[in-house]
């Protein structure tokens, strides 16, 4: 069962890592990207569920369960921020969706290398595209 769960986790993570930039590119081009958004949300949810189950099954990794839950909440919150027109959604959405994507990249790098430096590097590097997304969203508001 562990090998199957791991395979599902890796497959879902790969899908999320591929769908995230595709969704972003669609949005930048002005497309709704609803199917890409839905795919990304499903992939992140699957990563969170399988990651949480794997963490509980492996002694000493239970502390990763809140990380899995937070990753899923970031993705859902980012999707809802714009759709529900939350106050300051143009500031919140890039941080929420970007944070969910940073979590996927962090998981890939930490699992691949085992090096703890990869817990910090994606979060630092991820600030640049998040800032650019915020700037683009705020600029479009000023032009409207």
C-alpha 120/C-alpha 108 separation (Å) is: 13
Average pLDDT over residues 63-77: 96
Q: What is the pLDDT of residue 91?
A: 87
Q: Structure pTM?
A: 0.90
Kindly report, residue by residue over 74-112, the tens digit of the pLDDT.
999 999 988 888 888 888 999 999 999 999 999 999 999
Give the other-Cβ count within 10 Å of 87's Cβ. Answer: 8
Is the per-residue pLDDT at 144 higher than 60?
A: no
Q: Which run of H or E residues covers position 123?
A: helix 121-125
Secondary structure letter of residue 58 according to DSSP: S
Percentage of the chain modeled with pLDDT above 70: 96
C-alpha 104/C-alpha 77 separation (Å) is: 16
Q: Which residue has the tokens 């630092």?
A: 124
Mean pLDDT, the chain, as a whole number? Answer: 92
- Show the tokens assigned to 119: 């817990």
Percentage of the chain modeled with pLDDT above 90: 74
C-alpha 36/C-alpha 26 separation (Å) is: 8
Average pLDDT over residues 106-130: 94
| Closest listed residue to residue 105, CA positions, set 7, 20, 3 | 20
Q: What is the pLDDT of residue 53?
A: 97
Please say whether the beta carbons of 38 and 22 come within 8 A: no
């Amino acid at each position: 069962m562990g090998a199957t769960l791991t395979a599902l986790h890796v497959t879902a993570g790969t899908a999320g890592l591929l769908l995230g930039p595709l969704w972003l590119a669609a949005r930048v081009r002005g497309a709704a990207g609803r199917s890409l958004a839905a795919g990304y949300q499903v992939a992140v949810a699957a990563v969170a569920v399988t990651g949480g189950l794997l963490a509980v099954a492996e002694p000493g990794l239970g502390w990763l369960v809140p990380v899995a839950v937070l990753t899923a909440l970031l993705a859902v919150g980012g999707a809802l921020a714009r759709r529900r027109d939350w106050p300051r959604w143009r500031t919140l959405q890039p941080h929420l969706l970007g944070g969910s994507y940073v979590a996927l990249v962090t998981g890939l790098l930490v699992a691949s290398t085992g090096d703890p430096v990869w817990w910090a590097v994606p979060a630092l590097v991820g600030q640049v595209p998040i800032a650019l997304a915020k700037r683009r969203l705020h600029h479009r508001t000023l032009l409207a």
